[in-house]
Amino acid sequence: MWNRITRIILRNRVVILIVIALITVFAALQTQNIKYSYEDANLLPNDDPIAINYTRFKEIFGQEATMIIMGTSDSLIYTPEVYKNWSILTDEISNLTPEDLVPFQKDKKAPRVILEDGEKLVSGAISISNLKILKKNKVEKKFDLIDLSDSIPTTTEGIMEIRDKLYKLPIYDQLLYNKKSGLITTSIIVNPKILNSETRVDLVLAIDDKISKFEEANNIDIHVSGMPYIRTFNAATIISEVSNFVYLAMFITAFIFFLFFRSFSATLIAVAVITIAVIWSFGTIGLFGYDITILTGLIPPLIIVIGFPNVIFLLNKFHQEYAFHGNKIKSISRIISKIGNATLLTNTTTALGFATFIFTNSTVMKEFGIVASLNIFGVFLLSILLVPIIYSFRANPKKKHLKHLEKKWTHGIVEWILNQTKTNRPTIYAVSIFLFAFSIAGIFQMKISGSIIDDMPKGATFYQDIKYFENEYEGVMPLEIMIDTKVKGGVYKASTLKRIDRLGEFLKDESGLSHPFSVVNLIKYTKQAFYNNNPKYYQLPNSQERSFILEYAKNSSEDGNSQLSSYVDSTGQFARITLMMKDVGTDQMDMIQGDLKRQINKIFPEKKFNVVMTGGALVFLEGTHYLVKNLFISLSLAVLLISLIMAWMFRSPKMILISLIPNLLPLFITAGLMGYFGVPIKPSTILVFSIAFGISVDDTIHFLAKYRQELKASNWAIKPSVFSALSETGKSMFYTSIVLFFGFLTFTLSSFGGTQALGGLVSITLLIAMATNLLLLPALLLSLEKRISNKTDFKEPKYPLDADIEENEKL
C-alpha cells in the first residue's frame, strides 16, 4: 500500500502542493474567528451536581463575582488633596461610557456594547467618599438615604471624622475598611451584561488606566483585585504568551535541528513544514469556534515540538538511503514507503495520548484533546507529503549534507549503548528496579492541589494584589451558600434569620474565609439605623422591635429594596450568603467544606431547608477532584489503545508487555519525583502522563519496526536483529528525544506555574523514556531471547510493515 501511496505522491506533486496551499489559506482565514477566554476553565461536566447547583444559583441571583476592589492602607489617602482625588477617581470610574473605552479597543472603532436607557457600564461604586447611610425619619416613619459626609472635607481632621463615622458601621467591616491595618477600599460593581462580553476587557483596561494615573499623580500605591480584574489580566498574559511561545519553541527546536544536520536549507524546509502546521492548528481552533485558553494556547507550540521529530526521522532516513546507493528518487521513495508507516503509527500513538482527554466530559479538556489530536495527524500529513516533494525538486544532496551521518560523538553514543546492552544488562535491570522502588515511595507523597491562583504568574502585579487582599480580607475568591427555605417568604421568618445569623457567626471564625454578607447584615443595619446608627444595636431585631422597624423599612426608598434583592430572591424563598475565601488547596478546602456541612446540618434541618455551597472557587476545586479521578481513566485508556496498536504490529502478547515496560517506567519515575519535590497533582500536571506516554512510545515503535524488519532478514536471529536495529534507529531516537526535551523545556520559561510544570515534567519524562527505550528495551529483548525466539511471536499483521514493504519492492 505504501508503494502505491509513494507513486501517488510523487506523480501528483504540484496538485498536492496546491491543495496544501489552499487548506493553509483557508486555515489562516479561520484565525479571524479565534476568541480569547476571559473566564475560568470549566473543568466539571455540565451534569455534575456541583455544576448544576452553580447554574441554578446564577439563574436565581444572577452573575456572581461582579466586583472590582481597589484599596490602599497608605495614610496619604487621608490628606485633603489625595482624598479629593480619590473621590474624583470613584466618580470617573462610576460614569465611564462606551465612548471612553474606544482607546482601549484593538480596532479603535465605535463602542461594542449597547446599553439600554439608564443602564451603565459600572452599576455602582461604593466608597468612603460617596457612601450613603440610612437615617431615621421620625416624621414619615421611614429611613432616608443620606451622604456619609455633606461635602469633601478640606482638612485632615475632617477626613478622619468621616473615617470614624465609617468605622461605626459594622456592615462595611471587611467590605470597605479594615480597622486593624487602616485599609480603605472602593468596591466597583460591574454591570453583569458587560462581564459576558468582550467589552469587559476594554472596561477593565480603562479602569486600570485611571487607577494608574491616580497613583502617578498622587504618589500612592493602589491595590486592585476582584474576579473580573484577575480574569482579564490573567487572560491577557495567556494571550501574550501564546505568540511568544510559538516563536520561542520554533527558534529552539530549529536551532537544535540545525546543530544536528548542519544545513540551513534542511532547517528552513523543516521550519516551513512546521509553520504550515501551526497555521493549521490556529485555523482548527477558529473553525470549531473554540476559545484560546491556557490549554488550547499550548497546542501551537506543542505542534512545533512534536512536528520536528517527524522531519528528523524522514530526513535522516533520506540521507542514509542516499549515502547507501546515491539515487535521490529511490531514496525519496524509500522514506515514504519504509518510514511512512512507522511515522503514522508514532503520530497515532501521540494523538491517542491527547485524544484520551476527549472522554473526560470536561468541555475545556475535550476541546484541548480534539484540536491537539487532529493537528498531530495534520503535522504527520504535512511531513510525509512536503518533505519528499520538496526534496524531489531539489538537487542531489552534497557530501556536506551527509556529514552528520558520520559524526563521531553520535556514533560514540550509539556504540556505548550497544556495549551496555551486550555486557551490562544486570546493571540496567538493577538501576531500573531501584528507580521503580524509589518512585513508588515518592508516589505515596504526592498531593492534590486545586489552587485557583497557583498557576498564575507570580511576578504579575495582579497576583501580588491577590495575596495582599488575602491578608487583608481573607481572600477574593467567591464562595456562595444558597439557602432554600422551601416556602415563599420563608427567608423573612424570624427563625430563618436567626439560623442565617448563627451560620454567619460561625463563618466569621472559620480560617481562610472572609466576613459573610447576607440579608441578615442588611436587617441588622436597619436596626442600627433605627437607633440613630449606634453600633451596639447592630443586631437582629427582637420580636417587639420587628413590627415598627419593619414599618420603617417598608416606607423606605427603593434603593434599600434593591440591595435586599441581591441577597433574597423575589419570592422570598431563596437567600444567599456571600463570602470570599483564600486560595486554599484542595486539602484545606475539603476540611472547610466538611466543617461547613456539619454546621449547616446542625443549623438547617433537611426537612425544612435545602442548603448548598457553590461559587466559582468551589466549582474550580471540585473540577480538580474530577480531573484527578479521570486521570487514571484517560491514562489507562491511552495504555490500552497503544497496547492494541502494538498487538496489531506484532500480534504477540509478549511483545506488548516488553514494549510497555520501558514506557511506563518513566511515568512512575516522574510521578515519584513530583512526590519528592512537592509538585502537586493539579489540572496542568495531570496532562503530563497521557501526553508523555503517547510521545515516548514513538521511539519504541520506530525501534521495534526496524527490529521486526531485521528479524525477517536474519531468519529470526534476535541478537543481530537487536544490534542492527539499535545501530540504525539509535541516532534518530537520540536526535528526536533531544529535540523534544529542549522543545518542552522552553515551556518552563512561561510565567504560568502550570505551563512551567508541564514543560519540565514532560521534558524529564521523555529524557528518561529515551534512556529506557535505548537501554532497557533492547536488554529485555536480548534477555528474553529464548521466550520470543520463534516465528509464532511475530505473526503477519494485516497491514504491511517495513519488512513487508521491502519484500514487495524486491518483487
Residue with cell 467567591: 478
In terms of Cβ atoms closer than 10 Å to its own Cβ (0-12, 13-18, 19+), residue 117 is: exposed
Distance, CA of 640 to CA of 209 (rounded, Å): 53
**SS3 per residue for 45-68:** CCCCHHHHHHHHHHHHHCCCCCEE
Averaged pLDDT, 21-27: 96
Return the higher-pLDDT residue of 326 and 809.
326
Where residue 799 falls among pLDDT bands split at 50, 70, 90? very low
Averaged pLDDT, 652-662: 81
Using alpha carbons, list the distances in angstroms from residue 757 to 42, 232, 681: 21, 23, 10
Q: Would you state the pLDDT for residue 184?
A: 94
Distance, CA of 163 to CA of 244 (rounded, Å): 47
User: What is the average pLDDT score of the chain?
Assistant: 84
Q: Which of 162-176, 516-530, 677-691 has the lowest mean pLDDT?
A: 677-691
Distance, CA of 227 to CA of 70 (rounded, Å): 12
Where residue 302 falls among pLDDT bands split at 50, 70, 90? confident
Q: Would you state the pLDDT for residue 810?
A: 41
Q: 518 and 576 in contact (C-beta within 8 Å)?
A: yes
Distance, CA of 270 to CA of 383 (rounded, Å): 9
Q: Would you state the pLDDT for residue 811?
A: 32
Of 476, 475, 495, 477, residue with least CA distance to 485: 495
User: Is the pLDDT score of 166 beyond 60?
Assistant: yes
Q: What is the pLDDT of residues 567-577, one digit of tens each?
A: 999 899 999 99
Where residue 160 falls among pLDDT bands split at 50, 70, 90? very high
Averaged pLDDT, 215-228: 93
Q: Would you state the pLDDT for residue 480?
A: 92
* DSSP one-letter string for 349-364: HHHHHHHGGGGG--HH
Q: Which of 1-15, 17-31, 676-690, 752-766 has the lowest mean pLDDT?
A: 676-690
User: Is the pLDDT score of 25 beyond 50?
Assistant: yes
Chain centroid offset of residue 425 CA? 42
Q: 513 and 507 in contact (C-beta within 8 Å)?
A: yes
Q: Which of 107-121, 289-303, 708-722 has the lowest mean pLDDT?
A: 107-121
Residue spans of beta strands (DSSP E) within 432-503: 477-484
Q: Which of 212-221, 279-288, 385-394, 556-565 has the lowest mean pLDDT?
A: 556-565
Where residue 807 falls among pLDDT bands split at 50, 70, 90? very low
3-state secondary structure of 177: strand
Averaged pLDDT, 715-736: 81
Q: Would you state the pLDDT for residue 427?
A: 93
Of 764, 30, 696, 632, residue with least CA distance to 306: 696
Averaged pLDDT, 573-590: 83
Q: 697 and 663 in contact (C-beta within 8 Å)?
A: yes
Name residues whose C-beta falls within 8 Å of residue 474's C-beta, 6 or more positions apart in sequence: 174, 512, 513, 514, 515, 580, 581, 582
Q: Would you state the pLDDT for residue 271?
A: 93
3-state secondary structure of 36: strand
3-state secondary structure of 179: coil
In terms of Cβ atoms closer than 10 Å to its own Cβ (0-12, 13-18, 19+), residue 696 is: buried
Q: Would you state the pLDDT for residue 10?
A: 84
Return the higher-pLDDT residue of 466 and 313.
466
Q: 693 and 682 in contact (C-beta within 8 Å)?
A: no
Distance, CA of 91 to CA of 71 (rounded, Å): 15
Of 342, 336, 341, 308, residue with least CA distance to 321: 336
Q: 476 and 227 in contact (C-beta within 8 Å)?
A: yes
User: Is the pLDDT score of 226 beyond 70?
Assistant: yes
Q: What is the dihedral of CA 83, 86, 88, 94, to 10 degrees?
A: -140
The DSSP secondary-structure symbol of 396 reads: P
Q: 624 and 683 in contact (C-beta within 8 Å)?
A: yes
Q: Which of 66-75, 515-524, 586-595 has the lowest mean pLDDT?
A: 586-595
The region that residue 558 occupies, defined by phi over 0 for left and psi between -120 and 50 for alpha, beta otherwise, is alpha
Q: What is the pLDDT of residues 544-561, one digit of tens each?
A: 888 888 788 777 755 444
- The single-letter code of the amino acid at 360 is T
* Best-predicted range by mean pLDDT (155-159, 618-622, 732-736): 155-159
User: Is the pLDDT score of 800 beyond 70?
Assistant: no
- The single-letter code of the amino acid at 729 is T
Q: Would you state the pLDDT for residue 590?
A: 77
Where residue 183 falls among pLDDT bands split at 50, 70, 90? very high
In terms of Cβ atoms closer than 10 Å to its own Cβ (0-12, 13-18, 19+), residue 770 is: buried
3-state secondary structure of 96: coil
Could you tell me what percent of the chain has a pLDDT over 90? 33
Q: Which three cell numbers stand for residue 553?
A: 423599612
Predicted TM-score (pTM) of the model is: 0.76
Averaged pLDDT, 103-107: 77
